Structure 1
Amino acid sequence: MLVAMAAIVLWAGGYAVLCAAKPFAPCRRCRGLGKIERFGKPRMCPRCHGRRLRLRIGRRAHNAWRRTHQAGTR
């Protein structure tokens, strides 16, 4: 039990460092290419709009927490 808890804490800490160092990751739908093939034609990715990157879930949560904190302390 203690080993599992330590592993979870270690994983969460590593993910937090990753979100701070590299907040963007390749788009899951186009795999970072910016284009997908639909009906035999290359088109701009509808998820990332051709930007090739997406904001990580942890960074999105951090940004939401920071906005809420700043709005509450004004």
Structure 2
Amino acid sequence: MTLAAVLATLTTVGYAAWYAVLCVADPFGRCRHCTGRRNRLDRRHRDCHWCDGTGRRVRVGRRLYDYFRTEYERGQP
């Protein structure tokens, strides 16, 4: 393999490991749809339906981890 391919692989593996640690340490990320603010243009002043107006939502990696963990636990006798 070339040096560029090795560096690209190591970078990808490092990023994936960092994201896994981040999902365990801090399972909530910021909501990219509203950032916790109400929509002022909406006449009914509804909260964001993604995060319920908190500005924080569960990370995708944490949802995947929880899904695989529950599937594993269901498969146990």
Unaligned segments of structure 2, at least 5 residues: none
For the pair shown, which has the larger CA radius of gyration, 1 or 2? 2
TM-score with structure 2 length normalisation?
Answer: 0.82
TM-score with structure 1 length normalisation?
Answer: 0.85
Identical-residue share of aligned pairs (%): 34
The equivalent residue for 2:10 is 6
Q: Comparing both structures, which one devotes a greater share of its residues to strand? A: 1
Deviation of residue 40 (structure 1)?
5.9
For residues 1-74 of structure 1, what are the structure 2 equivalents within 5 Å? 1-31=5-35, 33-39=36-42, 42-74=45-77
Distance across 2 between alignment mates of 1:45 and 1:66: 28
Tell me the number of residue pairs that the alignment of Structure 1 and Structure 2 aligns: 73
Q: Which amino acid aligns with 1:73?
A: Q
